[in-house]
Amino acid sequence: MFAQVREMCPVLLNWVGYTYGCKSWLFVGDKSFGSCTGVQQGDPLGPLLFCLVLAVLQKSVYNQCQVMHTGAIMDDWTLHGDTLQMVAAFDVITREGPSLGLHANLFKCEVYWPTFDPRRSLFPPGIIQVQPESGVKLLGGAVSGNPSFYEAQFCRRVSKCSSAIESLVSLHDPQCQLLLLRACLGIPKLVYALRTMHPSVVSRGVSDFDAVLRKALTNIVGCSLSDFQFLLTGLPLSSGGLGISQASHLVHYAYVASVLSTAPLQSAILSSSGLSPFGPMFDSVLVSLSSRLSYPSVDVLRNEVSSSTSPTQKHLAGVFNSVLHKEFLATSGNDLRWFDKSTGRFLPRHQALLQSFTQQHASSFLLALPMEGLHLVMSPVEYRAILRYRLLMPLYTGRRRCRHCEHVMDLFGDHAFCCGGHSGSWSRHNFLRDTLAALVRQVGILCRENGEVRLPSSSGDLWPADLLVYDFYDGKTVCVDISVVHPLTSRGLVGFKVGNAVRGRESTKNEKYLSGCQSIGLEFVPFVLDTTGGLGKSSIQFLEKLRGLMMQREVIRESVSVAVVYRRILFALQHALARNIVSKMEEDFYY
C-alpha cells in the first residue's frame, strides 16, 4: 500500500504513513488486540487506498491473461472472456492476491456461461457455478440469456418497492408521503432496472408497480383517482402535474437512453468480439419510441439525441413528457363535470387551470420540505384540499350556499378564493405579508409591516403600505403592495391567457400608486400573485433581488436560494388557499 501511495499519490504519503505506519490498539473490556489488517473503517481515504492496491493485482491479471475485459468497483470485480483465460486469471488472483493482502472469497464468487461448457470443472469446487438457463446479478443489473430470468428479477424488485410504498400509509401525513414517493420510494427505485432491461421482459412488473403507485396516491389524496387524474399526477411539475413518474411512461425511453448513451463504451468493450451494442431487439424498441414521439424516422431521433447537450435520458424524458402533456390536454370524456357536452374536451375552466399550473415556480411549493419553524407544514386536511384542487377534483358536494356570504358554492372551490363575506382573504394577505417580511429580514434588511406613507393627493390621507423595505433598490426604500388574484372568474375565462389577471392587477396598482411613491423618493413594487402560483413581473424582480442578496450574504448555492425564496413564498400562498377551501367545508368533505 505504501509503495502504491508513493508512486501514485506521493502528496498523501506522510499522512498515510502517520495513520497506517503502526497498528492501532483496540480495547474490549480487559482485553486488547492490534488492528493491522486492511484500511480503517470510516477513513475517507480508505476506498482510495484499497483501490490503489487492487490496481496492482488487476494489472497483473491483464499482463498474464488474455481476458476480454476486467472492471472493478471496490471489491466487486468482474471479468469475462474464454473459460481457460478465466481459470488462469483466477489462478493469478489466488496466487498473488494474498501477498497484497487481498483474498478471494470463493463462496461469494460466481461463474456464468450463457451456454453449457464442459470445461467448467476446471474451476475450484467452492465457486458458485450458475446454470446457463439461469443468470447472475451484476452491479444491480441482470445478465442472462433467458428472458424469464430478467422478468423474475424485475418483478422481485417491484415487490420490494411495493412493500416500501405501502408502508407510507403509516405516516398519516400526505405532505411527507408525497415528498418521499417522488424523491426515493417511487420510480427512483426502478429507474436502473428499467435502463438495463429490455421493455419486453418488464411489462408485467410495470403494470404491477403502477397499480401500487395509484393506490398510494389514492391514500395521499384521500379519494379515488380517475384515469385522467392519475395521468395528471404523472406529469412533471413544470407541466402542472405532481411529478410522480409512472413506470409505464419511463419504460418507453429509459432502455433506449441507456443503450445510446453507453454505446461508445460498449463498442470499446466488444471491439475484439466483433459484436455490436445494437441489434434487432434494440432496433424494435427504437422504432417504437420514434413512432410514439412522432419522429419522421429513427435516424432523426438518433441525430437529435447525439447533438443534444443534455444527458440522453433527460433529453428523451423532456420530449416524451411534452408529448404526454399534449395528449393529456386533448383528453376527452362524457362526464359533464369536466368535459364539454358538444366537444368532449375539457371545460374552459379546467383548460385555463391546467395551463396556469405550468407557469414558472407555480408548483415549487410541492418540493418544500416540512419545517414547522418556517411555516412549511400543512395539516393533512389542508394539504389534501390543495392537491384535490390541482387534480380537478370536486371539493364540495351538491349545490349549496356559502355559509359566509350566501353565494351559491361551485363544485371545485373557486368561490372559496374570492369570497368577500369572511376574513379569509385578509388572513391570506397577512400570512403572505409576514412570510415576505421574514425573508427580507433573513438577509439582514430592515422592513416594516403596514408602514404608513403619505402620498401627494387632495386629501393628504395616509396610505398603509403592506411592507416598507428600507435601502433595498439602490439605497431607496421600497413600498410593497401585496395582492392575490384569481384568474378563473367568469370574465377572466373569456379569451383566457395565462398571466393576464396578474398583469392586469399590476397595471392597476402601478396606475394608482407608482407616480405618487416616486414623487416622494420611494420605489413601488406591486407584489401580485395568482391563486395557481403565477407571479407577476415585479414580484419576480423583487424575489430575484432578494435571492441575490441571500447568495451574497449567506454564501449559499443558487439552487438553495431558489428553494428558500420561491418555495417558501408559494407554500405560504397555497397554505392560505387551503385554509380558504377548508373554511367552507362541512361534513360532506371526506378525508
- In order along its 591 residues, the chain shows pLDDT tens digits of 888 889 888 999 898 888 888 877 888 888 888 777 777 777 888 889 989 998 898 889 888 887 766 677 788 888 888 888 888 988 999 999 999 888 888 888 888 888 888 888 888 888 888 887 888 888 788 888 889 999 999 999 999 999 999 999 999 999 999 999 999 999 999 999 999 999 999 999 999 999 999 999 999 999 999 999 999 999 999 999 999 999 999 999 999 999 999 888 888 877 777 778 888 889 899 999 999 998 988 889 888 888 888 888 999 999 999 999 999 988 888 888 899 888 888 988 999 999 999 999 999 999 999 999 989 999 999 999 999 999 999 988 767 778 777 787 888 888 888 887 666 788 899 999 999 999 999 988 999 998 888 777 645 567 788 999 999 988 899 999 999 999 887 566 777 899 999 999 999 999 988 988 888 889 999 999 999 999 999 999 999 999 998 888 876 788 788 888 999 999 999 999 999 898 887 644 444
Residue-level pLDDT at 492: 61
Q: Cβ(249)–Cβ(313) under 8 Å?
A: no
Q: 120 and 112 in contact (C-beta within 8 Å)? A: no
Residue 226 neighbours by CB under 8 Å, 6+ apart: none
- 10 Å Cβ neighbour count for 227? 10
Write down the residue that cell numbers 498523501 correspond to.
12
d(CA 516, CA 530): 25
DSSP E strands, 423-545: 447-454, 462-473, 476-485, 523-530
Q: Are 301 and 293 in contact (CB under 8 A)?
A: yes
**In the prediction, which pLDDT does 458 show?**
45
Q: Alpha-carbon torsion 16, 17, 21, 26, what sign?
A: negative
Q: How far, in Å, CA of 202 to CA of 296, rounded?
A: 27
* Residue showing cell 502504491: 4
pLDDT at residue 590, as a whole number:
43
Measured CA to CA in angstroms, residue 447 lies from 434, 437, 442 at distances of: 11, 7, 11
Report the pLDDT value the prediction gives residue 400, as an integer from 0 to 100.
74
Mapping DSSP to helix (H, G, I), strand (E, B) and coil, where does residue 109 land?
coil
Distance CA 434, CA 212 (A): 41
Does the CA dihedral 113-119-125-126 come out positive or negative? negative
| In the chain, where the domains are located | 1-132, 148-330, 332-590
> What is the secondary structure of 258-326 as a DSSP string?
HHHHHHHHHHHHTTTTT--S--HHHHHHHHHHHHHTT-S-HHHHHHHHHH-SS-HHHHHHHHHHHHHHH
Q: How high is the pLDDT of residue 434?
A: 95
Burial letters 74-100, b for 16+ CB under 10 A, else e: eeebebbbeeebbbbbbebbeeebeee
Q: What is the CA radius of gyration of the chain?
A: 31
Task: Give the predicted TM-score (pTM) of the model.
Answer: 0.85
- Among left, alpha and beta (phi > 0; psi -120 to 50; other), residue 222 is left
d(CA 49, CA 45): 6
Closest CA to 545 of 531, 527, 529, 533: 527
Q: Per DSSP, what are the bridge partners of residue 449?
A: 467
Q: How many residues does the chain have?
A: 591
CA distance 39 to 47: 8
Give pLDDT, residue 588.
47
Comparing CA positions, the residue from 584, 574, 189 lying closest to residue 375 is: 574
Measure the CA–CA gap between 270 and 288, rounded to whole angstroms.
26
Q: Give the pLDDT confidence of 316-363 residue by residue, as tens digits.
A: 999 999 999 999 988 888 888 899 888 888 988 999 999 999 999 999
Sign of CA dihedral 308, 313, 314, 320: positive
Supply the pLDDT for residue 461. 65
C-alpha cell recorded at residue 462? 395616509
Quote the pLDDT of residue 431: 93
The three cell numbers of residue 199 are 421493455
